[in-house]
Homo-oligomer: A and B are copies of this chain.
Amino acid sequence: MTERSIAEVLFANEAFYAAFAAGSFEDMAAIWSDSDTVCCLHPGQPPIHGRDAILESWRDILRDPPPIRCVEPVLLPLGEEGAAVICWEVIDGGQLIATNLFRREQGMWQIVHHQAGPLSVQVSLSLPEEDAPHAVN
């Protein structure tokens, strides 16, 4: 997988979380693949198969989105047309661990699968600088 493809996949993964955090249904719909071989596993829920059902589930979530951030993404290449990103999701101080799958379709990296699951332990994460505690004057 080329450096450019790796950067594009990580950018697509960031775009997924940006759409999630912003509550933008339009951006979320644009990031998900148009294909029907897509799947979404919301935490603790049974799988949702097919684009229409998946987007319907996101429509509900995005009406009142949590303050979610993706931390420490790690990319696994799957040939030239696919890739996985494993990352932490930090929500309201809680943590989930996620697998996001991307497929290149007409030159664009589109998400085709998302699984987020709960942790039974709390892990110390390297949060981006903007999240570091600030001194109170």
Enumerate chain A interface residues (CB-CB to B < 8 A).
37-39, 41, 43-47, 49, 74, 76-84, 86, 97, 99, 101, 103-104, 112-113, 115-121, 123
Q: How far is the CA of A41 from the CA of B123 in the complex (A)?
A: 14
Are B76 and A79 neighbours in the complex by a CB distance under 8 Å? Answer: no
Are A84 and B113 neighbours in the complex by a CB distance under 8 Å? Answer: yes
Q: How far is the CA of A84 from the CA of B37 in the complex (A)?
A: 11
Are A121 and B46 neighbours in the complex by a CB distance under 8 Å? Answer: yes
Are B79 and A79 neighbours in the complex by a CB distance under 8 Å? Answer: yes
Are B86 and A74 neighbours in the complex by a CB distance under 8 Å? Answer: no
Are B99 and A79 neighbours in the complex by a CB distance under 8 Å? Answer: no
Can you report 29 residue pairs joining A to B where beta carbons are below 8 Å apart? Answer: A37-B76, A37-B77, A38-B76, A39-B76, A39-B84, A43-B120, A44-B117, A44-B118, A44-B119, A44-B121, A45-B119, A45-B120, A46-B119, A46-B121, A47-B74, A76-B101, A78-B78, A78-B81, A78-B83, A79-B79, A79-B81, A82-B82, A82-B83, A84-B113, A97-B115, A99-B113, A115-B115, A117-B117, A117-B118
Q: How far is the CA of A76 from the CA of B80 in the complex (A)?
A: 15
